[in-house]
């Protein structure tokens, strides 16, 4: 292979890529993807695979009554199908003289910093041994608040965690179109600068045939990651050789151009929505200082108006302005009791230091 442009990537394969029209696994597509990953691994690329398909695999093994509750149906099909899915991958990777490993996660695994770092250590150890980690949501126990939006969200979290240079989201269409591709006159948008192009006007919020996600979700994840310095490609996983084309620099699919790279702690906090232990409301002066691009500014007690919820040192807190709009997230440098006692005071240590502060940027 020619020289590849990335050294560490996350590849997310959607259900519609791995599924035939009847919803069963498409082993021919899987075999092509595995062969590409094997060649990239031989070229020194670290690859983490985030794979859907467990439910589809389960459909080929068991038939449930239509009266079965939807949650129970998903749990049964995924529990049974996950074995078929990982065994199929293991067989295909074994034919390429490679080992693969199964990592099943839930959303709660990303909430605690220690658990987060433990997962990161595990994935790094597997890569160091030349093993291909295959990550999937633990559908058997992931219900309601424990569920990811879909595996697009999970792949974004993994890419951020592993400091990947790129996330390759494989779907069953050629990329993001500048109109309705079903009408035949729409064209694929080759590059998107998240700070300039409003991609949402081109996309209808619909979900895929078998999976939970849709193109709007994929673009939202791509937008967030690109602002953190991770390049994202959305391309057609049914196309043979698609991974190698992307890594060889061929213009294929849609590329979300990466911006300035952020630190690992900031990338963790970028996905902290819903995990915060408390909320800090700040005044207009503090808001202007934090959002200023001229200097790196920490959140000081003098700019705090009030605090809601209880938190300890090291917990994630949400930062809101006077209008209750979320500005970002940070890691508290002391607990809520001390923070409350220092509200409005000058000359105090930062409640959130700049190094542990992630500020949201408005989407295009």
Report the distance separating Cα 91 and Cα 30, nearest Å: 11
Separation between Cα atoms, residue 327 and residue 315, nearest integer Å: 17
DSSP string, 275-341: T-SEEEEE-HHHHHHHH-SSS--PBPGGGEEEEES---TT-EEEEE-TT--EEEEEE-SS-HHHHHH
Q: Edge to edge, what strands does the sheet with 278-282 contain?
A: 304-308, 278-282, 316-320, 326-331, 357-359
- Give the Cα separation of 148 and 351 in Å (integer): 30
303, with CB counted inside 10 A (0-12, 13-18, 19+), is buried
Q: What is the token pair recorded at 331?
A: 């890691």
Q: Are 132 and 196 in contact (CB under 8 A)?
A: no
The answer to whether 133 and 127 are in contact (CB under 8 A) is yes
Give phi and psi for 275, each to the nearest 5.
-100, -5
Residue positions in the annotated binding site for ATP? 12
Angle at 252 (CA atoms; ends 176, 5), nearest 5 degrees: 120
Q: Which residues are annotated as a binding site?
A: 12, 52, 139, 151
In DSSP terms, 103 is beta-bridged to 135
Q: Which residues sit in the known binding site for substrate?
A: 52, 139, 151
Beta-bridge partner residues of 235: 170
Q: Helices 151-161 and 113-128 sit at what angle, rounded to 10 degrees?
A: 80
Q: What are 129-132's contacts with CB under 8 Å, separation 24+?
A: 129/99, 130/41, 130/98, 130/99, 131/98, 131/99, 131/100, 131/101, 132/37, 132/41, 132/47, 132/48, 132/49, 132/93, 132/98, 132/99, 132/100, 132/101
**Nearest Cα residue to 85 out of 154, 18, 9:** 18
């Amino acid at each position: 292979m020619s020289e590849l442009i990335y050294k560490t990537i996350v590849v997310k394969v959607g259900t519609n890529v791995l599924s035939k029209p009847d919803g069963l696994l498409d082993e021919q597509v899987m075999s092509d993807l595995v062969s590409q990953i094997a060649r990239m691994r031989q070229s020194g690329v670290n690859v983490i695979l985030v794979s859907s398909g467990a439910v589809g695999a389960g459909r080929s093994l068991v038939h449930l009554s239509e009266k079965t509750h939807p949650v129970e149906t998903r749990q049964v099909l995924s529990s049974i199908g996950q074995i078929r899915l990982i065994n199929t991958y293991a067989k295909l990777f074994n034919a390429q003289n490679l080992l693969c490993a199964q990592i099943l996660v839930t959303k709660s695994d990303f909430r605690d910093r220690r658990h987060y770092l433990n997962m990161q250590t595990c994935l790094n150890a597997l890569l160091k041994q030349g093993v291909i980690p295959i990550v999937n949501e633990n559908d058997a126990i992931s219900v309601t608040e424990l569920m990811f939006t879909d595996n697009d969200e999970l792949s974004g979290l993994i890419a951020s965690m592993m400091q990947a240079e790129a996330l390759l989201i494989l779907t069953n269409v050629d990329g993001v179109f500048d109109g309705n591709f079903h009408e035949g006159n729409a064209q694929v948008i080759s590059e998107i600068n998240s700070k300039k192009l409003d991609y949402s006007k081109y996309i209808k919020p619909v979900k895929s045939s078998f999976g939970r996600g849709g193109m709007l979700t994929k673009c939202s994840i791509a937008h967030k990651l690109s602002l953190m310095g991770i390049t994202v490609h959305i391309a057609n996983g049914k196309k043979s050789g698609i991974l190698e084309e992307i890594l060889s620099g061929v213009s294929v699919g849609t590329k979300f151009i990466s911006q300035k790279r952020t630190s690992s702690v900031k990338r963790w906090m970028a996905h902290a929505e819903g995990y915060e232990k408390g909320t800090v409301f700040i005044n207009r002066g503090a808001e202007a200082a934090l959002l200023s691009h001229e200097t790196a500014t920490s959140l000081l007690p003098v700019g705090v108006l009030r605090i809601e919820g209880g938190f300890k040192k090291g917990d994630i807190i949400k930062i809101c302005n006077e209008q209750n709009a979320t500005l970002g997230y940070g890691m508290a440098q002391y607990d809520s009791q001390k923070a409350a006692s220092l509200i409005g005071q000058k000359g105090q240590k930062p409640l959130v230091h700049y190094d542990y502060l992630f500020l949201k940027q408005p989407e295009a």
